[in-house]
Structure 1
């Protein structure tokens, strides 16, 4: 088993609030109920005064007893929203989340992953009215096209939004071990058939292409913080559990040698973490190829002790390593990975996140198992979802 020192974040500060906006996920869910601090794009569209239908609305001045009449036929006030489904985000196989941290009235924004294609990122970012001039950094969880495919488009949008403003270029935070290409081995030789069969996934954007679009590249394989300590990005994730053993069929193409090689461990994977006053830690995992339990255990180890003197002291009401929300891909979909669900659920119960939002590659079976074991604490991630993590009102 691979062994590493736990990641550490001595410079991570305690935020007053953190908002997560899901730009891309494998599904959308505008209807299911969630906790008070989760809303969605549909609700925002309902409340947006720009969507008020002037024909079907009127100010009114009288009162209504809701008798046997149609609203709008008397002098009561009527408000009608013109709801256009073209305004709603669409789903796709990938992940992208915008993180907005606030401390003492100051805001920093980081984009975590960019979805699988430029067109999907562009369409959903437009629908969500993402302000690319305010995005200071783009963090790639790992080199897989369903997370990096929209990155050139995101960088291009950030550069264009800055064109007439004195703003630094967007920083693109990457693990330095970029593969030529990745894929999966679908078939290995048998006595009856001596062929290998591979599927090649799309190639990740190159560093040169990102710089050409205006990005400032930052290569990091160690734990570090961004944006004045608002966000932490892990280095390599310690692999400690016995059952989270990577992807057996995963392969990597080496162009210089002209061959595929097995790559069960995706060692360039990283997670993002933030800390919110009186609430605890928020953890974003792109795919959890290292295992979502390994991710959460590493976070627990990183925050066993109180925060450094550079940040305000934690509330005595929560443990220093309490996880308020863990969101993203848990990679428990598919026959091989579904066998890990019971162990994963057992260990997540012990870790005790306040809320779990399994999305992307998690699969419905894993989400159902988590909900059975931890009722009321599991929600779908869902494109267009908005999570606002802040101290509860007193």
Structure 2
């Protein structure tokens, strides 16, 4: 397996996330939502000029290596209007997006996909955007409620629907390198730990199948990895249905000679998954991860437990934050007590 090229820089914009908090403590290489919207041209601070948070996750990733730049969306988040508003307020020109990696078939990661496709293709033209998916995500999903009823979830648009919007759909199950090798998209993530066994209330069914069946493992989930020169691997795990220890185990197996510099994403340790927090905290220890930037479905108890165990290596992801991974900007692990990047930031 060819590893991703070592890029000189990686810039991550959090376009969709559960939390909006410009005062959340951030890493030294992060810039807050407030600073970013002001830099994007906001003339005043207001509810309309800031971003909207909702249950979901979506990132814009930009890389540069050897004078070549690439831009990719890692999921899109829940809802089209929120996604487009957040892009507008951050000053994101969607004409630059060359590819979208859809991690799995859950609405909170791809609900905004049709709107994103429309906006990007409208700016770039038809057949200029790749959408990377895998065949197993195109099933109907549902959740088994406590009263025994089943609550269905919105489905991923079918490949034919995405193609009709002008996208070039790459529907493959295996791992692949994207955009000149700047990004590595995984195949199935092996489930090897004894404790990361998924959720028993997750169900699915195929087309024309009247019966729901258990789907605790969500084997369609994928992760994305970027190799930053001088730093190591930045691992993006959108929801960690596979379990973040399984994710890191697969990364280590695939790229044994490269350290894991950072993990970003939802760790799926909230609510009924809180029982896994102690095992997960200890299971991450052998990987010596430089930074854990946890958002979306991580949950506050897990965030606190990770921070107690790993200190300033752990921080809360929030919508509108921008992270720059660049060896020239590398500092020792640490956080700032207030958002960085904007002199004279107001204190209300």
TM-score, length-normalised on structure 1?
Answer: 0.80
RMSD: 1.7
Q: Which of the residues 348, 357, 367 maps onto 2:293?
A: 357
TM-score, length-normalised on structure 2?
Answer: 0.91
CA distance in 2, matches of 1:296, 1:345: 13
Shift of residue 349, structure 1, vs aligned partner: 2.1
Shift of residue 162, structure 1, vs aligned partner: 1.5
Pairing 1:140–2:132 present = no
Deviates more, 1:344-353 or 1:265-274: 344-353
Structure 2 partner of 1:225: 177
Unaligned runs of 5+ in 2: 331-348
Q: Secondary structure at the match of 1:373?
A: helix
* 8 Å Cα contact 2:36/2:320 also seen in 1: no
Q: Which of the residues 19, 23, 37 maps onto 1:45?
A: 37
Structure 1 partner of 2:266: 329
Pairing 1:368–2:327 present = no
Structure 1 partner of 2:49: 87
* 8 Å Cα contact 1:51/1:83 also seen in 2: yes
Shift of residue 351, structure 1, vs aligned partner: 1.2
Q: Secondary structure at the match of 1:91?
A: coil
Q: Secondary structure at the match of 1:121?
A: helix
Structure 2 partner of 1:273: 225
Structure 2 partner of 1:176: 135
Distance 1:303 1:11, change over 3 A: closer
Shift of residue 350, structure 1, vs aligned partner: 2.1
Q: Structure 1 runs of 4+ off > 6 angstroms?
A: none
Computing the radius of gyration over CA atoms, which structure comes out larger, 1 or 2? 1
CA distance in 2, matches of 1:249, 1:209: 29
Pairing 1:242–2:194 present = yes
Pairing 1:216–2:168 present = yes
Q: Which of the residues 232, 239, 242 maps onto 1:287?
A: 239
Structure 2 partner of 1:14: 6
CA distance in 1, matches of 2:42, 2:16: 23
Unaligned runs of 5+ in 1: 1-7, 53-81, 189-195, 306-319
Per-residue CA shift, 1:318-341, capped at 9, x if unaligned? xx2x11110111000113x11100
CA distance in 2, matches of 1:34, 1:226: 29
CA distance in 1, matches of 2:229, 2:149: 51
1:67-106 aligned at under 5 Å gives the runs 82-106=44-68
1:336-355 aligned at under 5 Å gives the runs 337-355=273-291
Q: Secondary structure at the match of 2:136?
A: coil
**How many matched pairs?**
330
